[in-house]
Amino acid sequence: MATSLAARIGLDVILSLAGRTADPAPQPVPVRSGGFGGAEGLARYLRDEKIDLLIDATHPFAARISANAGQAVGHCDLTAFALRRPAWSSVEGDDWLSVHNVAQAVAALGEAPLRVFLATGRQEAHQANAAPQHHYWVRSVDPVEPPLTVPNVSYIHSRGPFRLADELDMLQRNRIETIIAKNSGGDTTYAKIEAARRVGIKVIMVERMETPGLPVVETVEAALGRIDHFVSSRMKRGV
Ligand SMILES: NC(=O)c1ccc[n+]([C@@H]2O[C@H](COP(=O)([O-])OP(=O)(O)OC[C@H]3O[C@@H](n4cnc5c(N)ncnc54)[C@H](OP(=O)(O)O)[C@@H]3O)[C@@H](O)[C@H]2O)c1
């Protein structure tokens, strides 16, 4: 999205990051980082910076900032929408168990020790401490701090996109028996799901909670269409 917007003349874009990663990927537009201070803080920022258009393009599991955006726009005079990629659906050959959160996913592993690929990201990896009988392979961009307290854990530090061949290799080399994943949607992290299907292992899938609030588009193309409409209607009104 940022790449598409950077190429547009006449738009003054600012990208807001939560500030979770120590070394974020370079961006083609100016960036600000860190929380606003709740919905009120975000509303204040939007007014102070005279923002005309808000696009909530946050991660589908970053529910709080999306709810804050929904509340904040009610107190501001601006246009807003969310870009939310569709969730993945299981296809023939998938063995999925859908759960509501990471704690449920860890509980669903059961009593018998398993070799588990925990692909939920760093922030919720600690839920694995509740089931120390399993061996976990935890993948995240930044280190998990503090480390898990379970006796058997291996950390993999890497940033997507991930390729199918690498995911297959990772699952087979480590003899992974189950994956815990979030239903993030999109292409960049789907390879592990496809790899699980090919190898024939279960995926415990943490499903999203619906975030009420802003109108939603599902693709960058649809978002650009909305932006074009927004810009041309302002030009017609002479704003
Ligand atoms: N945020 C990400 O970049 C990200 C990336 C990958 C995955 N996730 C997933 O989302 C889950 C929750 O992540 P989270 O705690 O970052 O999100 P969150 O629960 O929605 O947000 C928590 C707080 O972080 C700040 N924040 C979040 N996104 C922001 C942004 N783009 N710009 C400025 N401030 C922002 C806000 O603080 P204030 O209330 O102070 O404004 C917000 O209330 C994670 O477990 C992970 O699964 C998030």
Q: 3-class DSSP state for residue 187? A: coil
Tell me the C-alpha distance between 141 and 158, whole Å: 5
How do the domains of the chain map onto residue ranges? 2-86+210-236, 96-206
Domain 2-86+210-236 and domain 96-206, same fold? Reply is yes
Provide the pLDDT for residue 210. 80
> If you measure from the C-alpha of residue 19 to the centroid of ligand 1, how many angstroms do you get, rounded to a whole number?
8
Mutating to test ligand 1, I would choose from 29, 58, 85, 188 the residue with most ligand atoms within 8 A of its C-beta, which is 58
According to CATH, the topology of domain 96-206 is Rossmann fold (3.40.50)
Rounded Cα–Cα distance for residues 94 and 68 (Å): 35
CA distance 154 to 72: 41
- pLDDT of the residue at 148: 98
CATH of domain 2-86+210-236: 3.40.50
Instruction: State residue 1's pLDDT score.
Output: 87
| Mean pLDDT per 10-residue interval, the chain, length 239 residues | 87 95 93 97 97 96 95 92 96 98 98 98 97 98 97 96 98 98 96 98 95 89 95 85
DSSP track, 100-112:
SSHHHHHHTT-SS
* pLDDT value, residue 37: 98
In the three-class reduction of DSSP (H, G, I as helix; E, B as strand; rest coil), residue 127 is classed as helix
Ligand 1-lining residues (CB < 6 angstroms): 16-18, 20, 35-38, 41-42, 58-59, 61-65, 68, 121, 123-124, 182
